[in-house]
Amino acid sequence: MKDVVHESFIVVKAKESGVTVTGVTRGVENRFLHTEKLESGEVWISQFTDNISAMKIRGKAEIMTSIGDLMGGE
């Protein structure tokens, strides 16, 4: 693979313990690749990669992206 740069990243700050951020595989099969569990107050910053084209965030969390910010969870 050449000439390819995935620069986009997101920021997730857990507002409760047990928040999860799951990377979902790029390509024809979209399965869960990696799930990171966050304690309250922990911050997770991750890029899209050659292997990850989607992410799922569960639980109460501040989420920042280049196209806007939002609160996850109720």
Q: What does the binding site for its own copies look like in residue numbers (CB under 8 A)? A: 1-11, 13, 23-24, 26-28, 30, 33-34, 36, 38-70, 72-74
Tell me how far, at minimum, the Cβ of 63 lies from its own copies, in Å: 6
Tell me how far, at minimum, the Cβ of 14 lies from its own copies, in Å: 10
Q: In angstroms, rounded to a whole number, what is the distance separating the alpha carbons of residues 41 and 2?
A: 37
Tell me how far, at minimum, the Cβ of 60 lies from its own copies, in Å: 8
Strand partners, 70: 63
- Cα–Cα distances (Å) from 44 to 10, 41, 50, 58, 66, in that order, read 8, 10, 19, 13, 15
